[in-house]
Chains A and B, each alone.
Chain A
Amino acid sequence: MAENSRSARETVERTLDSTLESVDSAEELASELAGRAGFDDEDLLKIGMAVRESMVNAVVHGNRYNAHKKVRLAVSGGERRLTVKIADEGEGFDIEHLPDPLAPDNLLRSSGRGIFLIRSFMDEFQIRRLEGGGVELTLVKYQAGK
């Protein structure tokens, strides 16, 4: 059963509160869908971590735990790729001016590694400022051999 159902396209969308519980549930949801799409354990870990870091970015730095602001999550799997979109309602940030966490002067900083880890773990990463406020992160992972 596995092969056909694992390669079928599947999309799940959620509107989530700006809480750490949402971070956990988004990570879990993306990992489950990626598992059904046939990604191996190593990729599942990377996808889970990248989604977690993206959700933390949205909940903590974007929406700042504001109960009135939501995070929109869309996970789409199948055809040997997984696409995750995470949008917040925050003020946005300028990715060009994020400090390089690998620079010697920044190595011992206690924060600032989230976006770096997302880039490291996913095959594609895009950031888009939304009309009306907020930022949308798009993460793409291809299955090995693609």
Chain B
Amino acid sequence: MSVKLSTRQVGDVSVIDVTGRITLGEGSSALRDSLRELVGNNQKKILLNLGDVSYIDSSGIGELVSGFTTVTNAGGQLKLLNLSKRVKDLLQITKLYTVFDVHDDEAAAVRSFA
């Protein structure tokens, strides 16, 4: 299974629900396209729900970082929601866990956007 992304609005926050694998190729490029589209539409508050992401490789991690940089440089905020233990472990060993604002509760995550 590759990746499936769907975007919904919760107030002024765009929530991207990601399902499947974020790996080199289709998975990471789909994530990149979604984030760029939101930034292009001037969305400043983006919450990436990774609760149903079963697998992520170094390319996927790179896309998370690249997305974070893209959104931040556009004056927005990218936050992460519902990390699985696997994804959380990956972000910790790559020292990226503290770079991202990570949440376990969607309502609290939405409220956390300034």
Q: How far is A52 from B62 in the complex, measured between Cα atoms in Å?
A: 15
The 8 Å CB contact of B66, one of A52, A107, A110, is: A110
- A74: which B residues are within 8 A, CB to CB? none
Q: Does chain B have a CB within 8 A of A140?
A: no
> Which residues of A8-57 have CB atoms within 8 Å of chain B's CB atoms?
20, 23, 45, 49, 52-53, 56
B contact patch SS: helix
Residue contact B62 to A102, C-beta cutoff 8 Å: no
- A108: which B residues are within 8 A, CB to CB? 65, 68-69, 99
Q: Does chain A have a CB within 8 A of B59?
A: yes
Residue contact B58 to A117, C-beta cutoff 8 Å: yes
A contact patch SS: helix
Q: Shortest Cβ distance from B90 into chain A, in angstroms? A: 8
Query: A107 and B95 in contact (CB under 8 A), knowing A23-B24, A45-B86?
Result: yes
Q: Shortest Cβ distance from B94 into chain A, in angstroms? A: 6
Residue contact B63 to A110, C-beta cutoff 8 Å: yes
Q: CB within 8 Å of B: which residues of A?
A: 20, 23, 45, 49, 52-53, 56, 60, 101-102, 107-111, 113-114, 116-117, 120
